[in-house]
């Protein structure tokens, strides 16, 4: 069975109840576990720390400020470093929780891949925030780290080289995302093809969410990452970072 290489609840129940492949009970258990994994991960992803923090603490909706993006960069621009740090930590935490929930609930790596896709989807299109979320990069990065630390290390290196070389964080994020399924396949594809399939699906949504950045890059209007401590008043670095 693909992806079953550690203890997980689904496999335990199959053995505990002595279910046989091809039977209705066996199929029902798999479908039910998959649906539970997907729904739980999506709901976790839909919890948007940027919206909760901005509304709860600062009494403003971050989506009405700056770039309008409910992510770490816009939180930094609108409310400062502490708000941005809290947003990033909570975003990373929810992605990790979702991945390991899927991992131990539904067929190991396959379950983690399912949960990883849906937590990213929930972050981008959160049901609790009228489907207006972030760009999914931070969530996807955590999923990659959980799946394969080697894949994460390679992609982070690619991202860093591109960002330092061009100062376009959006370009580094999109290029790393596009290479993610290929590099993941090189490291774990033989162990779990399902992870690669869900990686491709995740990338589609992350790249789509960066469509405005890509248009600005093509037009030469994308703002670059500023390494200086101070920025000119009114400068907007929308799209230079994604979360």
Question: By C-alpha distance, which of 84, 152, 150 is closest to 116?
Answer: 152
**Average pLDDT over the chain, rounded to whole?**
87
| pLDDT above 80: residue 234 | no
Rg (CA), the chain: 19
Start-to-end Cα distance in the chain: 34
Q: How far apart are CA 169 and CA 159, in angstroms?
A: 8
Give the integer Cα–Cα distance in Å for 142 and 30: 25
Question: Hey, is 115 helix, strand or coil?
Answer: helix
Cβ within 8 Å of residue 148, ≥6 positions away = 184, 187, 188
Confidence of residue 74 (pLDDT cuts 50, 70, 90): confident
DSSP single-letter state for residue 222? P
DSSP state of 175: H
Give the model confidence (pLDDT) of 195-212 as tens digits.
999 999 999 999 999 998
């Amino acid at each position: 069975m693909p992806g079953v290489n550690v203890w997980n609840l689904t496999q335990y129940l199959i053995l505990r109840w002595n279910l046989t492949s091809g039977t209705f009970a066996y199929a029902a258990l798999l479908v039910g576990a998959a649906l539970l994994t997907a729904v739980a991960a999506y709901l976790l992803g839909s919890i948007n720390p940027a919206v909760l923090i901005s509304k709860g603490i600062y009494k403003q909706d971050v989506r009405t400020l700056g770039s309008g993006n409910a992510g770490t960069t816009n939180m930094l621009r609108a409310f400062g470093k502490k708000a941005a740090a809290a947003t990033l930590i909570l975003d990373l935490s929810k992605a990790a929780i979702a991945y390991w929930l899927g991992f131990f609930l539904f067929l190991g790596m396959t379950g983690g891949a399912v949960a990883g896709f849906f937590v990213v989807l929930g972050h981008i299109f959160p049901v609790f925030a009228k489907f207006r979320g972030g760009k999914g990069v931070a969530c996807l990065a955590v999923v990659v780290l959980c799946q394969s630390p080697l894949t994460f290390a390679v992609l982070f290196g690619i991202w860093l080289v591109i960002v330092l070389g061009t100062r376009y964080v959006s370009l580094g994020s999109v290029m790393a995302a596009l290479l993610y399924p290929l590099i993941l396949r090189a490291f774990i594809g033989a162990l779990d093809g399902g992870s690669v399939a869900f990686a491709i699906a995740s990338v589609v949504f992350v790249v789509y969410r960066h469509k405005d950045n890509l248009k600005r890059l093509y037009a030469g209007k994308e703002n670059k990452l500023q390494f200086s401590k101070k920025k000119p008043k009114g400068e907007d670095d929308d799209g230079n970072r994604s979360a």
